[in-house]
Chains A and B, each alone.
Chain A
């Protein structure tokens, strides 16, 4: 069994659970039969099954990467995880079709209001399959595709097959191989040339069965000159034993396209969140990953951009908050593969209590390139005396006129600042919270408005009881 975490998990967070009858259930554990079963249920074409089976073999061959990553990975028992669960239903087209019990769960997540207010399209993932999926008519008229992974591969192979598994090869790492073998759910999005979406696309998903891993697969293609912002946020109910979440997200920004991908990750404190995210940016394209990690037991996530076309630009903005029993191992990868490309990484982390946050980065500029630029800043804030922070960047530079700068600082909230605010009538936790919010403020401003409000509140919640 998975070793229970030595710390009590936060029982307040997402503490609700509705019984669901799982019509399709692949049982517990992973073997070739399970992979075949998933593919069968989804009535997939043979090439997808072959892709899954090959990935499964790769998964078996790859070692758990504890030679550089934390030993905590050894606590994942792949034999007690459920790899596929679904309601046995097609994604619903209208809100009325969504089953009542699932609606209840979403009600608590606040989706309907958001939908009515401003969302262009909502892809809400309940467990493995998209339970609710609807797009505004005007999006459809523009030719934007916003579908689930199964639908994407079966209905629009001419669009998605070309890039599926190309940005992140199956063999990239053990967990991308696992995802490739058992993926279900996620979003496949295509934005036609020149279409600029003014409102963000949004997907909510959550885990709802104990010991159940969620392996969604997302592929976003922005054709020439297109622009899109995609938002992903998650919350999970409380569990007694650990859960595995291992997603693969691939972004393709063709010439002049812009993609902004926003994540707020707030899994409960027993989830292993091992995600592979990577983008390809063609000529003059721009990809921005905005990433905020607050929940989970262990998150390992290094969003990357392969800058493949001239003047492409990549950016990662990341906030990590690690509380008791949490390890946020996040970072960024910038692979410069064309001239005059530029990249920017700003990572801020906060460690509270016994929390540990790590930054891992990779910046690469090979020798045939000219005039590439990278800027990396990592700042870490330590709140308590047993908090921990690490920084492990890797920078490899050759070539003509390439320049790289990397800077990292570690500090704590100064006693003077706290004293100043206490003098003016704030309690110590309030003062601390204010300092922490100030520390991440310039990054939070980059988030879409509704997220930044939520984030500030989440940080306040996490800070509660950490001082004094």
Chain B
């Protein structure tokens, strides 16, 4: 095995024994699962030796994502909890159980693709070392009010958990999926690297909401890949409030006619938080529509990187694709970097992107101040209004209220 001498990398993952002892602990897994892990581990190791400049990491301080502080794996099963609002006929279980009880349902979907937007080495590491995750497979013609909730608790500080989550919506099913990434108490502030594979069948509808409120010392990796079928619809709303640094990669693949993908994200940065977001709207079929809105409000020395690509293949005529990135700088030291991109290979298209970065409008501030609202409250009010467009995507009133409450308390702590 080749030696790895990149000082930025954690010594934990330099150790070949780490992988062999991990696999040994999971000797109950079928052979194909172990093979899959081995393949990804080898991929991960081969990537460590390459040191090319990567456009996919432009503007991002890559070293902050190197997991060099990590000293152990944490595969505690209590860190993942699943619940749903109905006694659903859909299969909703943790992935470990599925591998154990229904290996045939997993074996053919184990190697689903990831978003592949830059953090490849971490993606393969996660694929090699995933310790759990959720599995959700809906039945067709279900009630649209079905809500599934997944809570990912962070492991203890200094350790990391790897997750692989698989979501398949069978044709014409309709669900809401709510995921939380949270630290329960101070000791729960380790790191998490998580992959979501979502396959959306014909005419199906997914409304997914992610609320990330980790302690501000956690390092997070979030990989989300949506493969969207004929006339299917995905609305993906991600709300990032916590973590020290968070890299998210989200790809919407519009593979069949009439597919729709909507991606909304919000990041509220404080302290030295870093939010590195890479997205891709991948149009491979005609008559599809995609829309993306990314809003970042940045306090203190926080930093956001938005890199979004709209890719339209020659086969994707009559595409409508839009992308908007708005950054609000609330301090002089905050930083917003945008890389909005278009690659258009078809001509029957309507595509646009826009990116703006600015501070709070003086006139708006003056208006509120002249009505007796103190400076700080006025600023917070405007910032909240700026984020409202994304918050409005969370239709559940109780949930919406709790997010607003979290945001307000963050502003008050500034």
Shortest C-beta distance, B277 to chain A (Å), equals 14
B154 at the interface (CB under 8 A from A): no
A199 to B327, CA, bound (A): 44
Is B349 touching A391 in the complex (CB atoms < 8 A)? Answer: no
Shortest C-beta distance, B121 to chain A (Å), equals 17
A8 at the interface (CB under 8 A from B): no
Contact partner, A400, options B332, B338, B342, B354, Cβ 8 Å: B332
Contact partner, B344, options A383, A390, A394, Cβ 8 Å: A390
Which of A155-163, A209-217, A405-413 participates in binding chain B? A405-413
- When distances are taken between beta carbons in the complex, the residues of chain B under 8 Å from A412 are 347-349
Decide: A394 near B329, CB < 8 A? Known: A384-B347, A405-B356: no
B64 at the interface (CB under 8 A from A): no
- When distances are taken between beta carbons in the complex, the residues of chain A under 8 Å from B341 are 390-393
Decide: A410 near B355, CB < 8 A? Known: A367-B333, A394-B339, A396-B337: no
Is A408 touching B340 in the complex (CB atoms < 8 A)? Answer: yes
Which of B53-61, B162-170, B207-215 participates in binding chain A? B53-61
A382 to B350, CA, bound (A): 11
Is A396 touching B355 in the complex (CB atoms < 8 A)? Answer: no
B403 at the interface (CB under 8 A from A): no
Decide: A67 near B54, CB < 8 A? Known: A385-B347, A393-B339, A404-B358: yes
Is B352 touching A408 in the complex (CB atoms < 8 A)? Answer: yes
Q: Which of B349-395 contact A (CB under 8 A)?
A: 349-359
Taking CB as reference atom, which chain B residue is nearest A380? Answer: B344
Is B359 touching A400 in the complex (CB atoms < 8 A)? Answer: yes
- When distances are taken between beta carbons in the complex, the residues of chain A under 8 Å from B345 are 386, 388
Is A397 touching B342 in the complex (CB atoms < 8 A)? Answer: no
B237 at the interface (CB under 8 A from A): no
- When distances are taken between beta carbons in the complex, the residues of chain A under 8 Å from B340 are 391, 393, 406, 408
A229 at the interface (CB under 8 A from B): no
Bits for A409-427, please: 1 = Cβ < 8 Å to B, else 0: 1111000000000000000
B196 at the interface (CB under 8 A from A): no
- When distances are taken between beta carbons in the complex, the residues of chain B under 8 Å from A405 are 354-356, 358
Shortest C-beta distance, B303 to chain A (Å), equals 9
Decide: A393 near B355, CB < 8 A? Known: A380-B344, A382-B344: yes
- When distances are taken between beta carbons in the complex, the residues of chain B under 8 Å from A394 are 58-59, 337-339
A387 to B340, CA, bound (A): 21
Q: Which of A401, A402, A408 has the most CB of B within 10 A?
A: A408
Taking CB as reference atom, which chain A residue is nearest B309? Answer: A392
Decide: A386 near B359, CB < 8 A? Known: A393-B340, A397-B335: no
Is B348 touching A385 in the complex (CB atoms < 8 A)? Answer: yes
B73 at the interface (CB under 8 A from A): no
- When distances are taken between beta carbons in the complex, the residues of chain A under 8 Å from B54 are 67
Bits for A135-159, please: 1 = Cβ < 8 Å to B, else 0: 0000000000000000000000000
A397 to B338, CA, bound (A): 9
Taking CB as reference atom, which chain A residue is nearest B340? Answer: A393
Shortest C-beta distance, A18 to chain B (Å), equals 42
Q: Which of B53, B349, B355, B359 has the most CB of A within 10 A?
A: B355
B136 at the interface (CB under 8 A from A): no
Is B353 touching A385 in the complex (CB atoms < 8 A)? Answer: no
B334 at the interface (CB under 8 A from A): yes
Contact partner, A402, options B347, B349, B359, Cβ 8 Å: B359
Decide: A411 near B359, CB < 8 A? Known: A389-B342, A390-B342, A394-B337: no
Contact partner, A403, options B53, B350, B359, Cβ 8 Å: B359
Is B354 touching A382 in the complex (CB atoms < 8 A)? Answer: no
- When distances are taken between beta carbons in the complex, the residues of chain A under 8 Å from B344 are 380, 382, 388-390, 410
A47 at the interface (CB under 8 A from B): no
Contact partner, A68, options B55, B332, B337, B349, Cβ 8 Å: B55
A391 to B349, CA, bound (A): 15
- When distances are taken between beta carbons in the complex, the residues of chain A under 8 Å from B355 are 393, 395, 404-407
Taking CB as reference atom, which chain B residue is nearest A404? Answer: B357
Taking CB as reference atom, which chain A residue is nearest B58? Answer: A394
- When distances are taken between beta carbons in the complex, the residues of chain B under 8 Å from A380 are 342, 344
Shortest C-beta distance, A259 to chain B (Å), equals 28
Is A403 touching B356 in the complex (CB atoms < 8 A)? Answer: yes
Q: Which of B293-342 contact A (CB under 8 A)?
A: 314, 317, 327, 329, 332-342
B1 at the interface (CB under 8 A from A): no
Q: Which of B32-64 contact A (CB under 8 A)?
A: 52-55, 58-59
- When distances are taken between beta carbons in the complex, the residues of chain A under 8 Å from B139 are none
B346 at the interface (CB under 8 A from A): yes
Is B343 touching A387 in the complex (CB atoms < 8 A)? Answer: no
Decide: A367 near B337, CB < 8 A? Known: A385-B346, A396-B59, A412-B349: no
- When distances are taken between beta carbons in the complex, the residues of chain B under 8 Å from A393 are 338-341, 355
Is B335 touching A406 in the complex (CB atoms < 8 A)? Answer: no
- When distances are taken between beta carbons in the complex, the residues of chain B under 8 Å from A386 are 314, 345
Is B335 touching A410 in the complex (CB atoms < 8 A)? Answer: no
Contact partner, B342, options A67, A398, A410, Cβ 8 Å: A410
A388 to B352, CA, bound (A): 15
Shortest C-beta distance, A412 to chain B (Å), equals 5
A231 to B342, CA, bound (A): 32
Decide: A398 near B334, CB < 8 A? Known: A406-B355, A407-B353, A410-B351: yes
Taking CB as reference atom, which chain A residue is nearest B54? Answer: A67
Is B52 touching A67 in the complex (CB atoms < 8 A)? Answer: yes
Q: Which of A79-133 contact B (CB under 8 A)?
A: none
A4 at the interface (CB under 8 A from B): no
- When distances are taken between beta carbons in the complex, the residues of chain B under 8 Å from A401 are 359
Q: Which of A405-455 contact B (CB under 8 A)?
A: 405-412
A29 at the interface (CB under 8 A from B): no
Is B357 touching A397 in the complex (CB atoms < 8 A)? Answer: yes
A194 at the interface (CB under 8 A from B): no
Shortest C-beta distance, A418 to chain B (Å), equals 13
A27 at the interface (CB under 8 A from B): no
Shortest C-beta distance, A248 to chain B (Å), equals 23
Q: Which of B317, B347, B352 has the most CB of A within 10 A?
A: B347
Q: Which of A367-389 contact B (CB under 8 A)?
A: 367, 380, 382-389
Contact partner, B332, options A392, A398, A408, Cβ 8 Å: A398
A169 at the interface (CB under 8 A from B): no
Contact partner, B338, options A367, A383, A402, A406, Cβ 8 Å: A406
Contact partner, B339, options A382, A395, A403, Cβ 8 Å: A395
Contact partner, A67, options B53, B314, B349, B353, Cβ 8 Å: B53
- When distances are taken between beta carbons in the complex, the residues of chain B under 8 Å from A367 are 332-333, 335
Taking CB as reference atom, which chain A residue is nearest B317? Answer: A385
- When distances are taken between beta carbons in the complex, the residues of chain A under 8 Å from B59 are 394, 396
A67 to B58, CA, bound (A): 12
Bits for B128-161, please: 1 = Cβ < 8 Å to A, else 0: 0000000000000000000000000000000000
Shortest C-beta distance, B110 to chain A (Å), equals 32
Q: Which of A224-257 contact B (CB under 8 A)?
A: none
A389 to B356, CA, bound (A): 22
Shortest C-beta distance, A61 to chain B (Å), equals 15
Is B332 touching A407 in the complex (CB atoms < 8 A)? Answer: no
- When distances are taken between beta carbons in the complex, the residues of chain B under 8 Å from A387 are 347
- Known: A394-B337, A397-B329; 7 extra A-B contacts, CB below 8 A, are A367-B335, A385-B314, A386-B345, A393-B338, A402-B357, A408-B340, A409-B351
User: Chain A: residues with CB nearer than 8 A to chain B?
Assistant: 67-68, 367, 380, 382-412
Top 6 closest pairs, chain A to chain B, by CB: A403-B358, A382-B347, A391-B342, A410-B351, A397-B357, A395-B338
> Would you mind naming 27 contact pairs between A and B with Cβ atoms under 8 Å apart?
A367-B332, A382-B347, A385-B348, A388-B345, A389-B343, A390-B341, A390-B344, A391-B341, A393-B338, A393-B355, A394-B58, A396-B59, A396-B337, A397-B357, A398-B329, A398-B335, A398-B336, A402-B329, A402-B357, A404-B355, A404-B358, A405-B354, A407-B355, A408-B340, A408-B354, A409-B352, A410-B350
User: Chain B: residues with CB nearer than 8 A to chain A?
Assistant: 52-55, 58-59, 314, 317, 327, 329, 332-359
